[in-house]
Amino acid sequence: MQRFLNKHPTRAVFVLLAIASLAWLIFSVWPEWLIDLIGRKKTFVNTLINGLTLGGLYFLVASGFTLIFGLMRNVNLAHGTMYLLGAYIGYEVAEFSNNWYLGLIAAFIAVGLCGMLMQLLVFRRMEGDDLRQTLVTIAISIIAADLMLAVWTGTTYQFTPPEWLFGSVTLPIVSAIKSSGEVVYLKYPLFRLMVMLLAILVGVVLWLFLNKSRIGMMIRAGVNDRDMLSASGVNIQLIFMLVFAIGAGLAGLAGVVGGTALSIAPGEDIRYLLASLVVVIVGGLGSITGAAIGAVIIGLAEQFGLAYLPTYGVVITFLIMVMVLAIRPKGIMGK
Amino acid sequence: MIKKLITISLTLLAFTGWNSATAQDTIKMGALATLEGAFAVLGEDGMRGVKMALEEFGYEAGGKKIELITGSSDASPDSALRAARKLVEQDGVPILVGPLSGSEGLALKDYAKTQPNVTFVNGVSAAQDTTLREPADNFFRFTTDGAQWMAGLGEYAYNEKGYRKLAVLAEDYSFPYTQVFGFLEPFCRLGGQAPLDARFWVPIGNKDFSSVIAALPDDVDAIYVALGGADAINFLTQYGQAGGELPLIGGSITVDQTVLGSRGRIREHVVGMPSAGPISDTWDDPLWQAFTDQYRKQFPDGFPSPSLFAHGYYISTKATLLALDKVNGDVSDGGKAMRTALSSLTFETPTGTVSLDERRQAIADIFLTEVTVDDNDNLVNKTINVTGQVSQTFGLPYQDFLQYGPVSRENPRCE
């Protein structure tokens, strides 16, 4: 912090100014001219939180994707399938046991196992052959999508979250002051705030796991030099399977979370695969921090697009991608 | 290698052999619906309607066996075109029933012009210009369009509900434009308002409505929502979660059985929602009762009551089969006789009499409905009122109706 201040005094001033004005935008009561300029405060602040919570969901999906790529250089295009499969399995378990948490855990474990099997039965046999792996994962995703359509049909499913998570909470942010002088506070769906908290929790746990644990150290060593790691007596196949299980399991977990916050239906697999791809391209392939940054940027872009430019909102996401690719071809945190 | 060759030749034999052996006494009928994407559930129910009509005729019309070949699209015009091309040019169907979604219908109308010997019978696609402007001679629509479906709802919102200013939330393509036009035109003529900056257009398949919900204005009396399938379910759930309190008015497919029959938490927010469309779940006509009983019997895994998609595809398929009956299943003249029969066809459906106007567009009864909970704890649309024999031009001469201009995001302007 101190070093940054000394090194780039002008940049630091800009960053501080940006933070201060954002805080002012969130906590102050907006004057008339600002409302005329960019609309009501409720829209702006809501969109901001929406972007962050959607970013949280994207991070849950994309962190597994980037983890797998980072270690195995394997672009797993069946990652969206893992998301959808987790959602369906979680739904069945949650319906059967009438317990949402059980569904969440079941999705993580079941899809984690699927990931392990995929590594064991498929990817191990074509190690280092990127093109074949990519094609095989596309094939798996297409076949699985049709199988899931056959089993769960095209109906839209929605989870029933635990009672205390349903509904909205009042945030300590003033939305507007009515002419009668009554202060209106901002309301926000509680579950979506929880999505963000869960994403932060998963991010912290992943960071601790990768940076502080012995297995994490092995994984990082494997990212840098696979051959040296296996030469030093580590069973690299076991590590691969573990990472694949965690990556896929996270996607499954995200399926339940996403299915509760939004909904699940055929086609979601492709949507989240695309989202993860864009997130990791923007954030930098293989970096967990990059996935977090990318997820927040894409989440915000999508939500602000939807609120302020509904028809052309989608374009913003891809504009950001193009810009990042032009300036930093390997992504923001890419090496 | 030899094994492979044998497989290939056997496969080829299977295909060609089958066709030539059965070509004489069967007629192929293509059916196209959205079995993928955000409208997959809608397409599935549409296909149930096709099968109900075929079952009713014992898979026979005019003394010939009907062979059903299904095609699937995802609600985008190019996917519908691709599927129609496959059915017409590869499978060689002389009759095609479909498509389901508005813009698909526009694409298929244009395609129909390039295939004069194929008879196209619309599924339930309901964009206005599919038959209003530059119609195709071989494209028939026995279902009513999105603007016809809204008959009576605008007046009801203004007079009975007392709404004066509305926000609009709809998907961004031709069918919701048609619905918004059909709803707002009478509403605004009576003096209601729906400012352009309070109209929100979202892409099909949008999942996350939270930002749109945040952007909805507070100073309106109600929100008119024209979303379909998964989009409607997502919006209704999220609107409830966000603590939304404004009353809602539904487009025809927003509170249809495909949405009401879904597994989700929408119940609290939709009961009491007014809407209008070609069917009403509680319509007490014996023909409608027989239709719903047959639906439940034939499809125990279907919805509690047939959706407007099952209804629409049923009517379209039945019209096709009736016309085939009339010409004794003879389509060897490129379907000319059959199309003549179709043009003059008038028949009783579960929802009243259907006939065609000179642009081959249906004239039929429209139902004003409200969502309620029935005795079996299912959500259904109960009948409030029926508008008899609604035509596409609302009774105006064709040239006069064109003065309203094509449907769009800003038609009517309503200022």
Would you say A296 and A279 are in contact if contact means Cβ atoms under 8 Å apart? no
Higher per-residue pLDDT: A278 or A175: A278
Out of A272-276, B18-22, B291-295, least confident range: B18-22
d(CA A47, CA A52): 9
The predicted pLDDT at position A150 comes to 87
The predicted pLDDT at position A87 comes to 96
The predicted pLDDT at position B21 comes to 40
- Residue A35 burial (10 A CB sphere; 0-12, 13-18, 19+): middle
In this model, does residue A64 exceed pLDDT 70?
Answer: yes
Whole-model pTM: value is 0.82
In this model, does residue B302 exceed pLDDT 50?
Answer: yes
| Mean pLDDT of chain A, nearest integer | 87
User: What is the tens place of the pLDDT at every residue in B153-189?
Assistant: 999 999 999 999 999 999 999 999 999 999 999 999 9
The predicted pLDDT at position A1 comes to 63
In this model, does residue A3 exceed pLDDT 80?
Answer: no
d(CA A50, CA A192): 8
Would you say B409 and B194 are in contact if contact means Cβ atoms under 8 Å apart? no
- Please, which pLDDT band fits residue A33 given cuts at 50, 70 and 90? confident
In this model, does residue A302 exceed pLDDT 80?
Answer: yes
| Mean pLDDT of chain B, nearest integer | 90
How far are the Cα atoms of A72, A144, A267 from residue A130, in angstroms, in the given order? 10, 21, 25
Instruction: Return the DSSP state at B89.
Output: I
Higher per-residue pLDDT: A62 or A73: A62
Q: Which residue's structure tokens are 């912090």?
A: A1
Angle between helical axes of B308-326 and B336-343 (0-180°, round to 10)? 120
For residue B244, give the 3-state DSSP assignment.
coil
The predicted pLDDT at position B3 comes to 55
d(CA B370, CA A46): 32
Three-state secondary structure readout of chain A: CHHHHHHCHHHHHHHHHHHHHHHHHHHCCCCHHHHHHHCCHHHHHHHHHHHHHHHHHHHHHHHHHHHHHHHHCCCCCCHHHHHHHHHHHHHHHHHHHCCHHHHHHHHHHHHHHHHHHHHHHCHHHHCCCHHHHHHHHHHHHHHHHHHHHHHHCCCCECCCCCHHHCCEEEEEEEEEECCCCCEEEEEEEHHHHHHHHHHHHHHHHHHHHHHHCHHHHHHHHHHHCHHHHHHCCCCHHHHHHHHHHHHHHHHHHHHHHHHHHCCECCCHHHHHHHHHHHHHHHHCCCCHHHHHHHHHHHHHHHHHHHHHCCCCHHHHHHHHHHHHHHHCCCCCCCC
Higher per-residue pLDDT: A169 or B409: B409
* Inter-chain CB proximity B41 and A189 less than 8 Å: no
Which chain B positions have a beta carbon within 8 Å of A42's beta carbon? 214
Cβ neighbours, 10 Å, residue A248: 33
d(CA B291, CA A305): 45
- Alpha carbon A49 to chain centroid, angstroms: 15
In this model, does residue B5 exceed pLDDT 70?
Answer: no
d(CA A104, CA A90): 6
Average pLDDT estimate for A90-94: 95
Would you say B320 and B98 are in contact if contact means Cβ atoms under 8 Å apart? no
Q: Are strands B119-121 and B95-97 parallel, antiparallel or unpaired?
A: parallel
Average pLDDT estimate for B349-376: 94
Residues 6+ positions from A146 with CB-CB distance below 8 Å = none
Higher per-residue pLDDT: A157 or B354: B354
Which chain B positions have a beta carbon within 8 Å of A160's beta carbon? 265
User: What is the tens place of the pLDDT at every residue in B106-159?
Assistant: 999 999 999 999 999 999 999 999 999 999 999 999 999 999 999 999 999 999
- Please, which pLDDT band fits residue B19 given cuts at 50, 70 and 90? very low
* Inter-chain CB proximity A303 and B210 less than 8 Å: yes
* Inter-chain CB proximity B215 and A307 less than 8 Å: yes
As given in the structure block, the two tokens for residue B43 are 């397409």
Residue ranges of domains in chain B, CATH in brackets? 25-144+286-364 (3.40.50.2300), 148-283+366-402 (3.40.50.2300)
B217: closest CA of chain A, how far (Å): 9
Query: Among residues B99, B81, B83, which one has the least CA distance to residue B91?
Result: B83
d(CA A8, CA B180): 55
Query: Among residues A77, A64, A68, A72, which one has the least CA distance to residue A257?
Result: A64
- Please, which pLDDT band fits residue A263 given cuts at 50, 70 and 90? confident
d(CA B388, CA B86): 39
The predicted pLDDT at position B84 comes to 96
Q: In this structure, is the dihedral angle defined by the CA atoms of residues A258, A264, A269 and A273, taken in order, positive or negative? A: negative
| Cβ-nearest to B264 among A42, A158, A313 | A158
For residue B307, give the 3-state DSSP assignment.
coil
Which chain B positions have a beta carbon within 8 Å of A302's beta carbon? 208
Residues of A with CB under 8 A from a CB of B: 39, 42-43, 46-47, 50-51, 54, 149, 153-158, 160, 166-168, 187-189, 191-192, 262-263, 265-268, 271, 302-304, 306-307, 310-311, 313-314
**Pseudo-torsion of CA A138, A144, A145, A146, nearest 10°?**
120
Share of chain B above pLDDT 70, in %: 94
Q: Which helix (H) or strand (E) holds B27?
A: strand B26-33
Instruction: Return the DSSP state at B330.
Output: -
Q: For residue B212, what is the nearest residue in chain A, using CA coordinates?
A: A307
* Inter-chain CB proximity A307 and B207 less than 8 Å: no
Instruction: Return the DSSP state at B196.
Output: G
- Please, which pLDDT band fits residue B17 given cuts at 50, 70 and 90? very low
The predicted pLDDT at position A9 comes to 79
d(CA A24, CA A45): 11
Q: How many residues does chain B have?
A: 415
B229 touches A: beta carbon within 8 Å:
yes
| Cβ-nearest to A187 among B229, B237, B243 | B243
In this model, does residue B10 exceed pLDDT 60?
Answer: no
- Residue B404 burial (10 A CB sphere; 0-12, 13-18, 19+): middle
The predicted pLDDT at position A171 comes to 84
In this model, does residue B81 exceed pLDDT 50?
Answer: yes
Average pLDDT estimate for B324-347: 93
A–B interface: beta-carbon pairs under 8 A = 115
The predicted pLDDT at position B7 comes to 53
User: What is the tens place of the pLDDT at every residue in B388-402?
Assistant: 999 999 889 999 999
Give the bridge partners for A199, in sequence order. Answer: none
Average pLDDT estimate for A86-113: 95
| Cβ-nearest to A43 among B215, B230, B243 | B215
Q: Are strands B352-356 and B362-373 parallel, antiparallel or unpaired?
A: antiparallel
In this model, does residue A107 exceed pLDDT 80?
Answer: yes
As given in the structure block, the two tokens for residue B177 are 């434009």
Residues 6+ positions from B54 with CB-CB distance below 8 Å = B66, B68, B317, B321
Angle between helical axes of A41-72 and A190-212 (0-180°, round to 10)? 30
B246 touches A: beta carbon within 8 Å:
no
* Inter-chain CB proximity A158 and B40 less than 8 Å: no
Average pLDDT estimate for A87-98: 94
Show me where the domains of chain A are located: 49-327
Would you say B254 and B232 are in contact if contact means Cβ atoms under 8 Å apart? yes
Which chain A positions have a beta carbon within 8 Å of B73's beta carbon? none
Residues 6+ positions from A186 with CB-CB distance below 8 Å = A42, A45, A46, A170, A171, A173, A174, A175
- Please, which pLDDT band fits residue B65 given cuts at 50, 70 and 90? very high
Q: Which residue spans within B319-378 are E strands per DSSP?
A: 347-349, 352-356, 362-373
Q: How many residues does chain A have?
A: 335
Which chain B positions have a beta carbon within 8 Å of A153's beta carbon? 40-41, 44
Would you say A47 and A307 are in contact if contact means Cβ atoms under 8 Å apart? yes
In this model, does residue B308 exceed pLDDT 80?
Answer: yes
d(CA B108, CA B126): 12
